[in-house]
Structure 1
């Protein structure tokens, strides 16, 4: 399979038509080899627009959504990043190419191992992969310049918002099936946040995502 041609087609035919026009994002999607982070059985579909299952109820975000997230969060070289949900490690690799460092946390041990092995094999050195439940935050390295939640949450937990630095951003898919809204939250001052609704989509719910009555303040 000609992965380079397939990657060009992914960017030009899938991602760019959905108003992902940031040249830095498009170049990043061209340079980080997605097929290196896909389970072997799905490697031929690595650059397609279909969902790629990772097992344990998880799947990779489709390329257009990955592009739209990157365009929205505008990763900076100085950013310290928390990714909630490591998956295959691919999105962590995208973030790490632009950020200072990334800490990616997954609740499923098999996915932690997958992400760790993929990132190590690909030579990404500024990502730390950890096992745990970070949907309500990961205090060890907080606060963060950027937090990306890679699955759905009924509502963003206050404890997670509190780990965003002033001037920092948080991206999450908020709501429940059949529809979720991609939201970008910016911490504009201590305890004050501005929320932008970006687009609608449906992604797998984060395991242990707290319902409204379960939130800890």
Structure 2
């Protein structure tokens, strides 16, 4: 199977057509071998427009959602990035290739172990993987230029905004099924923040996220 050709086709048919014209992002997604990050049983679906199961009830984002996330964070080579939810490690790899350093946390140690191996095979060395429950305990110590939250929350969690440096950006999906809002939060130099809804989607809950009283997920 010519995975490089299929990867290019994914970018042209799924990513570019979703108003993602940036050459840097398109080249990145043409280059990173997504098939190396999906579970073996789903290797042939690596570039399909679907959410691939990872175990523990978790799934990879749709490729086009990953593309919009990367686009919305406006990453620069000097940025320090936090990823909440390592998952397959694919998005971790993309973030690491766009930024200076990435801290990626997950509550599942087997996800972290697998991601460490996969990132190593890609010679990606600017990622620190940590076992951490960000929904329960908040983000790990530090301040970040950009934060990507890969599981949904009922509403914006201001603990994540507090972990942003002035000028920082947060990508987060909020709301309830069937329609949620993908949001970018920006923090100004004075510490004030504003949010912008960028598209509608649906995303599995971040594990251990607090739900409103009486709500059943």
Q: TM-score band, normalised by the shorter chain?
A: over 0.9
CA deviation profile, 1:68-120 (whole Å, cap 9, x unmatched)? 11111111111100000000111010000010000000011221222122112
3-state DSSP of counterpart to 1:29: helix
Are residues 1:35 and 2:35 paired? yes
Q: Describe how 1:84-163 pairs up with structure 2 within 5 A.
A: 84-135=84-135, 137-140=138-141, 142-163=142-163
Runs of 4+ in 1 over 6 A off after TM superposition: none
d(CA) in 2 for partners of 1:212, 1:25: 37
d(CA) in 1 for partners of 2:151, 2:179: 13
Deviates more, 1:93-102 or 1:41-50: 41-50
Q: How much does 1:67 deviate? A: 0.8
Are residues 1:69 and 2:72 paired? no
Select the structure that is richer in strand: 1
Are the aligned partners of 1:49 and 1:63 in contact in 2 as well (CA < 8 Å)? yes
CA RMSD of aligned residues (A): 1.3
CA deviation profile, 1:15-45 (whole Å, cap 9, x unmatched)? 1111111111101101111111111111111
d(CA) in 2 for partners of 1:6, 1:47: 7
Are the aligned partners of 2:78 and 2:100 in contact in 1 as well (CA < 8 Å)? yes
Unaligned runs of 5+ in 1: none
Quick one: structure 1 residues 139 and 51, their matched pair in 2 at CA, closer, same or farther if it must change by over 3 Å? closer
d(CA) in 1 for partners of 2:159, 2:195: 16
Q: TM (normalized to structure 2)?
A: 0.94
d(CA) in 2 for partners of 1:69, 1:160: 16
Unaligned runs of 5+ in 2: none
Which residue of 2 is the match for residue 183 of structure 1? 183
d(CA) in 1 for partners of 2:109, 2:185: 29
Q: TM (normalized to structure 1)?
A: 0.94
3-state DSSP of counterpart to 2:150: strand
Give the total of aligned pairs.
Answer: 212
Are the aligned partners of 2:139 and 2:159 in contact in 1 as well (CA < 8 Å)? no
